[in-house]
Structure 1
């Protein structure tokens, strides 16, 4: 038996092949696992549980079937789907975890995060994050008509792409959008747990840090990416 971790799928109607890959992954590799953990950005954008998208329905159906087959799924909200709520979680039979969360895997504790809070050098993003995580802002946003929310998500995506293009032009993309080493160090020291697993940066790798091991999950833009943890250890792998 094994525990599986994925993140940064960014599922979207414009990339149907990746959505289908997720469906095959759930029905094949995930079925029979001890648990599936999704560490944020399952969707490219999520503007509320009332969005009747086909992609959302497909994901909910697959995860609910997985749970009925005996493999529970757990979810940490990401920077693209931080508005995913309890209504969708119930449809998908998925449990929402706080960020960060501490879980026990193969008898050993691990800290799970989406990973965006580790990127403290990205000041513009952290300011946006603070605004959009405010319960008052979220209540006001969710009270807007669905078309208005979808338009906001499209504008936010365009602004993010523009910012990344400017960072690339300045040669700052790698430094600004990756984790801040000091923040990683202080986070792992605060928990006192020698294993941290996160996504967000799209840079899959196992890092040896001062306070233990940090495992970064890959994205699903061109192919799938999975972390498998069992009694033999932890292994990152790509899914075609």
Structure 2
């Protein structure tokens, strides 16, 4: 049996082919798996569980069908869908996990995270994250009309693109938006695990490193902008693969 990990799908009505790829992945591969973990940014933007989008409805129905067929599905919030709440999770049959969470994978403890908290060099983003994860800010935001929240999401995406373009122009894009080695080492030491799985950076890879004299492994999931990406883990090991 196999446990599946995905992240950074950024599902959006403007890219229906990726939503279709995800639905096919759920139908053809997730059914029968030991578990499915979605490590954030399932959606390009999420402004509240009252969002009536067709994409949200399709995803909820597709995930619920997989759960009903016997594959438990778990979700960790990303930087784009941190407002996904218990109501939508219940509609989809997903279980919400804390950021980060430690799970047991065939006898091996693994730390699961979206990964954005590891990018400590991106000070502007970390300030924005601290603001938007404040419970008072979230309550005030969710109290606004849906159209106002959607407009905020559009402006936030534009600001994010401008921020990344600015970093690219300065030649600091690769270092600032990637994880900070010190943050990775500190996280491994804090949780006492030798396996970490996360997304966010859109740099799929398997990193072997040593922290405090102990071998560790950090697996980074890929995004779904042009194709799919999945990590398959079983008792024999792990395989990080692209999906067409």
Please classify the TM superposition score into its range, dividing by the shorter chain length: over 0.9
CA offset digits 1:119-178 (Å, max 9, x no partner): 000000000000000000000000000000000000000000001011111101000000
Query: After the TM superposition, which parts of structure 1 deviate over 3 Å for at least 4 consecutive aligned residues?
Result: none
Q: Secondary structure of 1:12's partner?
A: coil
Counterpart-to-counterpart distance in 2, 1:192 and 1:67 = 31
Counterpart-to-counterpart distance in 1, 2:146 and 2:121 = 33
Q: TM-score w.r.t. structure 1 length?
A: 0.99
Structure 2 runs not aligned, ≥5 long: none
Pair 1:237 & 2:229 matched = no
Q: Residue 185 of structure 1 contacts residue 209 of structure 1 at CA under 8 Å; is this kept in 2? A: no
The residue number in structure 1 matching 2:72 is 72
Q: CA deviation at 1:42?
A: 0.2
Q: What is the alpha-carbon root mean square deviation over aligned residues?
A: 0.5
Counterpart-to-counterpart distance in 2, 1:30 and 1:94 = 13
The residue number in structure 2 matching 1:149 is 149
CA offset digits 1:70-114 (Å, max 9, x no partner): 001000000000000000000000000000000011111100000
Structure 1 runs not aligned, ≥5 long: none
Pair 1:116 & 2:116 matched = yes
Pair 1:213 & 2:217 matched = yes
Residue-pair matches, total = 240
The residue number in structure 2 matching 1:167 is 167
Counterpart-to-counterpart distance in 2, 1:215 and 1:209 = 11
Q: TM-score w.r.t. structure 2 length?
A: 0.98
Q: Secondary structure of 2:98's partner?
A: coil
Q: Secondary structure of 1:210's partner?
A: strand
